[in-house]
Structure formats: structure tokens, C-alpha cells
Amino acid sequence: MILVHGLLGSCATMGTLARGLARKFEVLAVDLRNHGSSFHAATMTYREMARDLAGFMDEKKMASAWVAGHSMGGKCVMQLAMDFPDKVAGLAVLDMAPRAYAPMWAQYVTAMLDLDLTQITRREQADRLLANAVPENAFRGFLLQNLKSSGKQSYFWRAGLAEILGSMKDICAPVSGRPYTGPALFIRGGTSDFVSDEDWEDIRNLFPAAVLKTIAKAGHLVHLEHPGLVTELLAGFFTGLSGSSQGSIQGEARTT
């Protein structure tokens, strides 16, 4: 199983899911371009990122896999399924529809870029300076996972923030392609506006076998707010695809 993070996340933000799912499956959590430890690139269209994922699978000699992605990562795995259907044995998408969105979090990326990191000697300083632009503590903590220390009280943004900001139009674009007829699970947060009832027709047009689950008291970061329930839904869905024998498999969680 391959887990794909959302915008400004990384394989680490999928860690709780990966560890929970690793009780039954072999799990790989990846970093998309301009995120985590992956390379920086001037463009990041969904077709490019789908090719990145397909190339990763080829590198790992994986003929096919179950794939799950959150938000931007959800669009990446949707595009992967449409462009490389033979590589996707089953698909799960967390709180994302295939449609276009208004610029997502561009103001947060700008606020992060505006921080003068040369004046920051402690993470707490960055947290305090970012508070005006990002008042919610939990979300600010999520963003600050991208702030890394290079030693001697020196900090840098590991994510390619300038590249992400320059690619915001592509990040907010819809995905499209030949419909993926394989099994697909869409999980949405009940208090999130990322997947509305009106989106269901578009989802079923591209993923005719899709089923939808709603977690009532969850927002967009559904996998971080309710990791146990999301893990249970994913494990049940993918176990059901492979038959009862899959439940006896003991896996491991790895990141790359």
C-alpha cells in the first residue's frame, strides 16, 4: 500500500496511518516533489506527480499497489489511477474531489516565506511570528513540521515553498482522464467543504465503482483528527478487496 500526503505535508504526516495499517499490510509513505525529502521542481501538475508515483513503483519493482492519498495527494492518486490503471489495484481518497478548487492555502505559504529565518534561533519564535497569519494552533503546528534545523540554531524550510506557490494554479486544477473502473473509496470530513454532495456525480463519472464514507465530526485533516477511524475504514476496504486471507498478513511501514 502506498500513502500519499497532501499539500505542505510529508510522509511523516501519514505516519500514524502507516503504523496502524502496517499491522496488516506492507505500507510505503512517500514524499511528493517539493515536499519532505523529495526533489524540488518548478512545476507540479497532477500528471507529472502521477508519473513520479508510477516511476517510484517501477523503481521498487511494484507491478501494482493499493494507493491512498489525502487532499492534493488524493488528486495525485486519482490521476495515477486514470493514467496508469494497471498499477492501481484499489484507490482511496481522503477529503478531496476531482474538481478545481480556489487557491488552497496560498496565504499560508506566503506567510511562511515572509518569515525572516535568519532571525529565528528557536522553533518557538517561528511559531509566535506565524500566529497572526495562522491563528489555529494545531494547523500552525502542521505547517511548522516543514521547518527544520541545520544546526547551530539555524533553520530552513525543507519544502520548496517558492515552487509550491508558483505552482498553485496547477495544484488547484481538476484532474481528468479515462475513468478508472476499479474499486475506489472516498472518505470525507463531515465539517469539511472539500467534498460536497454536489461533487458526487463528478466522482462517480470518473470512478464509477466509488463508495463514499463520511466522518461526521471531522474537518479536512480527517486522517489527523480521527486516525483510528480512518485506519479502520482503509483496512476494512482494502482487506475486503483481497479476501479474508489478507487479514493474516503482517506488514511493515516504511517511508521514502
The CATH number linked to 44 is: 3.40.50.1820
- Tell me, yes or no, whether 111 and 96 share the same domain: no
Residues 62 and 156 in one domain: no
Same domain, 130 and 202: no
Do 161 and 184 fall within a single domain?
Answer: no
Q: Which pLDDT belongs to residue 243?
A: 60
Q: Do residue 29 and residue 86 come from a single domain?
A: yes
Q: Residue 188 is part of which domain span?
A: 2-100+175-255
**In whole numbers, what is the pLDDT of the chain averaged over residues?**
92
Integer Cα distance of 185 and 196 in angstroms: 15
Dihedral over alpha carbons 182, 237, 210, 97 (to 10 degrees): -110
**Domain count within the chain:** 2
Q: What is the pLDDT of residues 69-93, one digit of tens each?
A: 999 999 999 999 999 999 999 999 9
Cell of 204: 462517480
Q: From CA 99, how far away is CA 205, in angstroms rounded?
A: 12
In this prediction, residues 181-200 reach a mean pLDDT of 97
Query: pLDDT over 90 for what percent of the chain?
Result: 89
- Res 179: pLDDT: 98
pTM assigned to the model? 0.91
